Amino acid sequence: MKILTIDVGTGTQDIFLYDSRLDIENGYKLVLPSPTMMVRQQILAATKAERDIVLTGVTMGGGPCGWAVNGHIASGFRTFATPDAARTVNDDLNMIKEMGVILVSEEEAGSLHNNVVRIELHDFDFQQIEKAFALFGVRLSDLDAVAVAVFDHGNAPADISDRKFRFEYLDQRIRAENRLSAFAYLSNQIPEIMTRLQAVADSAKDLRTPLVVMDTAPAAILGATYDPSFRDHNRVMIANIGNFHTLAFRLGPSGIEGVFEHHTGILDPIALDEYIYEFAQGTLTNDRVYSDHGHGALIYTQESLSMDHSDFNIIVTGPRRNMVKNSRFRPFFAVPFGDMMLSGCFGLLSAVADVLPNLAEPIYKSLNANKGHNTEPWQLD
């Protein structure tokens, strides 16, 4: 069995090819620039060349590419975009027009003069990944599934904050299915509000294999649970400190006991330590996080989490995990299967086993070779 997993972040896209015939440590892996960083470079090159640009394709991750669009317009050059591509920068097309982006139809985009630099937007390009593997003699024509993780705020109504909308979505999923893989979907079951997940599915229409999509942060948290160093602890806090977002879950015998999400760029080590303490104690409130320009916090149990330094019950993963290297709580840095950068990919693999149960047995056999679990480790019976 072979499954391709891709975890799309702000800085990198992390790719792992699972082969059930191999120990996971021997699976092929790639850590490459993220799609938004690649688009950013294309836009910067167009700005330097003093050429207009047209953005087509689907909605993808913004951030760096959105900032490059702003810089391109500020430099006096035109930016044309189809509506779906424009939503990469902002879901509100009126705001897009106010920025100076010129909205065009697909037909109009195709008829623009030849001096316009054409840039296609997507988070997932299977053909590109397939070519990269092919350079090393690895074929992807016999895959049993593909899994892709992206961060999705969801398509919030104009009068509702993106932060509130996403956090309400997290709460709803936890209450509906108290397990981390509740944030994973088959491509034909994606909620309508999750437009970036749907855009990934749209980019993969030519795939001849099942596609599973998932939110990046729960995928990283789920992957981190496969680090064997804390397999015997039945109550933990696991935080994914990403380039843009920091998300933490409290996990225990009843499943997910709490969730907290903030913007990494707003936090410093002292503030993050304080949030960790309050989250563990059960005193962190949703209003406190939201008023600090974060997403929110919800705690589903009255029981506090032990802060005993002798017990590795605060686990950290993510590309900016060094923010807590000097934390007074001495968190444990998870390295599932020896590679922190692939935590999201391992989480995706675990989610595939849940979403596609016909593939579960060999996946769990590989993932749990050193743990003794037969299902997702924090999945409720």
The 10s digit of each residue's pLDDT in 345-381 is: 999 999 999 999 999 999 999 998 765 444 444 443 2
Average confidence (pLDDT) over 33-54:
96
What pLDDT is recorded for position 371? Answer: 57
Average confidence (pLDDT) over 61-70:
92
Q: Which two tokens stand for residue 159?
A: 């009068």
For 211-236, b/e burial (b = at least 16 CB within 10 A) is bbbbbbbbbbbbbbbbbeebeeeebb
Average confidence (pLDDT) over 13-24:
96
Cα dihedral across residues 131, 202, 164, 247: positive or negative: negative
Q: Which of 25-39, 213-227, 313-327 has the lowest mean pLDDT?
A: 313-327
- Residue 235 φ/ψ, nearest 5 degrees: -140, 120
309 pLDDT band, cuts 50/70/90, is: low
As a whole number of angstroms, the distance between CA 152 and CA 169 comes to 10
147 pLDDT band, cuts 50/70/90, is: very high
Average confidence (pLDDT) over 50-58:
95
CB distance 88 to 59 below 8 Å: yes
What pLDDT is recorded for position 373? Answer: 46
Tens-place pLDDT, residues 257-280: 999 999 999 999 999 999 999 999
What pLDDT is recorded for position 308? Answer: 66
Average confidence (pLDDT) over 32-54:
96
**Residue showing tokens 């988070």:** 123
As a whole number of angstroms, the distance between CA 243 and CA 40 comes to 16
The model's pTM is 0.91
Tens-place pLDDT, residues 157-207: 878 888 899 989 999 999 999 999 999 999 999 999 999 999 999 999 889
Average confidence (pLDDT) over 268-293:
93
Tens-place pLDDT, residues 101-139: 999 999 999 889 888 999 999 999 999 999 999 999 999
Domains with residue ranges and CATH for the chain? 36-121 (3.40.50), 233-334 (3.30.420.40)
Alpha helices per DSSP H over the chain: 35-48, 64-74, 83-86, 93-99, 106-110, 126-134, 162-176, 195-203, 216-224, 269-281, 286-291, 343-355, 360-367
What pLDDT is recorded for position 380? Answer: 32
Tens-place pLDDT, residues 206-250: 899 999 999 999 999 999 999 877 666 778 899 999 988 999 999
Average confidence (pLDDT) over 335-346:
94
Stated length of the chain: 381
As a whole number of angstroms, the distance between CA 83 and CA 87 comes to 6
What pLDDT is recorded for position 374? Answer: 43
